[in-house]
Structure 1
């Protein structure tokens, strides 16, 4: 407790922490303001009946905003989708202008960020329209329609509000990153998930009390949660240390180098980013189906994207593994590391400087990333396994 008090004595850190708290409070407030013209009772019944579906899963990542059809229902998903597409385009070297901007340093990165924001705007409008059409055509079993008066004005206001909300959340995340602590987008998603945690715990206690699930099952769920938290901490701190030796160099009359150090490579470099990317990508075909949800092809796509479908689970796992490797390839460049080591007289014992060192670092990264990627994928599908095997009647995710 004393350490926390001491931290707040540092004015800059105190200001950053308070800014993060204030920004997240604004986000949670916006996530509670519903779109005008929505039957909230029918909407609540619909999401209660679809907790284990992709719709319920997307609601978790929106921090419950989607379940309330609030002004922040889209959350940061369009921004993440736009970032994924831009990263893939840059990696594939499709547009020479992007390759040129990448080489321009900070100025080029700012321009690429501007392109990503513009792309987010169009993507948010497209996904907002798909979501609005989907929810206006849905209704709980035997219930009233979610949007009783879905006319052209309703569609225009709703799409405009959702798109504006997405742009504001994107801006808020960037402000948290710049003026607060940590990654703003990740903190926004984290805040939404944590906000649902107390209600999930109370729901489980109530289900044990009414004997819908046994006390033993409840204890087992709690034990699994603590075990998973422990494993996450262990994996997040795990790293492979590549030894590096620096040769002695004489500059003038002084000797430099001759020291040993190491290059730390995290086992799980991407963290939750890979899961967010996978969920965002899977939300795109779901959004497209909502433009004509009653068609045969849309029904097939929605049936495939059921969380209980083994093929869907395998695709979900494959996407997570792919994005773990993709994130590593974007965030760490073995060739640059090897060149910098060679420039300063560093080398890996037993490995020649230059390209052989780059190949060795890449080989080590590929090996440790596989273990981290499979662990993250296991965590992602664990809630579905708990629902199926332990008969947990709510989605326990996050």
Structure 2
């Protein structure tokens, strides 16, 4: 406890770090206030809206901190920007002209960021138009009601306000990245997820606190949740280190480098949370069959793929996650490029020839560690359904795994790593006695 107090004092005594923390908290507060501002012309029944969430819409609502079902001006949250960023990231991998632009340095990154913003506007306009249809559907289900006098202006004003709201949230994320602490986009998503934790925790505690024996069950649930979080930390930080040696360089009468052994860290889970996000989107598609009310088969298919506790859902979901993990890892990880970079910098893997043999060696290691990483990622993805089968409430079970837990663990690790770096730069003790905290960005770029 004494060391924790001293660490907090050290953090607060660093003016730059204190300023970053205060700016981050202020921008997060502004974002949370905006999530409670309802779109003009509509009234929402919060209880009915919460009961209506599920599938991909439930995931969007979780990322938006409940703003989606509340018809807030931030209802779409940061998701259109995330979609645009993922698309541009794939373009830089698949299209040579974008690869060349990315290698131009700061100027290339600025152009890609600018195109990402333009694409965000287009994606937001499309999603905002679809969201108006979703609000009309909620109106038909008596979950929401439109003000009659405002009905003729509702479509235009909603699309404009949702687009402006998403762009403002995107601006908040960029300001957190520039002036605050951590990656702004990731922090906004994490805050939206954590905003639902107190309510879910309270509901679970109320359900388990009445019978005396059930309180022990609640304590066991919390212990299992902590164990799962520790396992996710190992999954996020797990790496395989490949030894790399650098040859001596002699320039004139001076020797540079020589004999220094370093390590090339390869992540067990290089794909991050992207396979889970893609899998959830794919699993949502069969539920579209539910629109065919006259087909019993389509209703059964839709029922299976909308029930997270169904065994067939878990099997198909796990298979899709494993497949997407290998696919996405192959897209973002290029052993040939790594081998070429090592060769250009006079680096080599001991016992392996430079060039293509090094690329084959790195690729083989990547394939070996990707399989257990993919299996563990699939297990994390189906843990909420398993927890719900074991008696955990639907809202609280979402924190036992899936996208929410992985994002929270990854973002918290990244933020703590930045704080520790600031402490060590000023010769303070780090946050941990043994070893340094490693975030997702220490080895490869974060997916979110």
Deviations 1:38-92 (A, max 9, x none): 2222x431322x3554433322121111122211110111112222223334433
Q: In 2, Cα distance between the equivalents of 1:60 and 1:384?
A: 16
Unaligned runs of 5+ in 1: none
Deviations 1:279-298 (A, max 9, x none): 5x459969x97xx968889x
User: C-alpha displacement at 1:153, in angstroms?
Assistant: 0.9
**Which residue does the alignment assign to 2:50?**
47
Distance verdict in 2 for CA 1:295–1:71, change over 3 Å: farther
Q: Retained in 1: the 8 A contact 2:242–2:263? A: yes
Distance verdict in 2 for CA 1:144–1:324, change over 3 Å: closer
Q: In 2, Cα distance between the equivalents of 1:57 and 1:383?
A: 13
* SS at 1:390 equivalent: coil
Deviations 1:150-197 (A, max 9, x none): 733111111211111111111221222222222211111111111221
User: C-alpha displacement at 1:305, in angstroms?
Assistant: 4.8
User: C-alpha displacement at 1:351, in angstroms?
Assistant: 0.8
Aligned residues: 389
Distance verdict in 2 for CA 1:312–1:58, change over 3 Å: farther
Deviations 1:292-349 (A, max 9, x none): 968889x869656514366655564455445544554565443332223223322111
* SS at 1:80 equivalent: helix
**Which residue does the alignment assign to 1:108?**
108
**Which residue does the alignment assign to 2:440?**
none
Distance verdict in 2 for CA 1:273–1:5, change over 3 Å: farther
**Which residue does the alignment assign to 1:35?**
39
1:387 partnered with 2:388: yes
- The residue correspondences of 1:1-398 to structure 2 (distance < 5 A) are 1-41=5-45, 43-48=46-51, 50-93=52-95, 97-138=97-138, 143=142, 145-147=144-146, 149=148, 151-211=151-211, 214-255=214-255, 256-276=257-277, 278-279=279-280, 281=281, 303=303, 305-308=305-308, 313=314, 316-318=317-319, 320-321=321-322, 324-325=325-326, 328-329=329-330, 331-390=332-391, 392-397=393-398, 398=404
Q: In 2, Cα distance between the equivalents of 1:154 and 1:295?
A: 30
Q: Retained in 1: the 8 A contact 2:201–2:396? A: no
Q: In 2, Cα distance between the equivalents of 1:322 and 1:180?
A: 37
Q: In 1, Cα distance between the equivalents of 2:123 and 2:42?
A: 23
Unaligned runs of 5+ in 2: 399-403, 405-448
TM-score scaled by length of structure 2: 0.76
Q: Retained in 2: the 8 A contact 1:101–1:109? A: yes
Distance verdict in 2 for CA 1:144–1:100, change over 3 Å: closer
TM-score scaled by length of structure 1: 0.85
Q: Retained in 2: the 8 A contact 1:30–1:71? A: yes
Q: Retained in 2: the 8 A contact 1:243–1:261? A: yes
* SS at 1:65 equivalent: coil
* SS at 2:221 equivalent: helix
Q: In 2, Cα distance between the equivalents of 1:116 and 1:284?
A: 26
User: C-alpha displacement at 1:139, in angstroms?
Assistant: 5.2
Q: In 2, Cα distance between the equivalents of 1:68 and 1:189?
A: 17
User: C-alpha displacement at 1:31, in angstroms?
Assistant: 0.9
Distance verdict in 2 for CA 1:144–1:192, change over 3 Å: closer
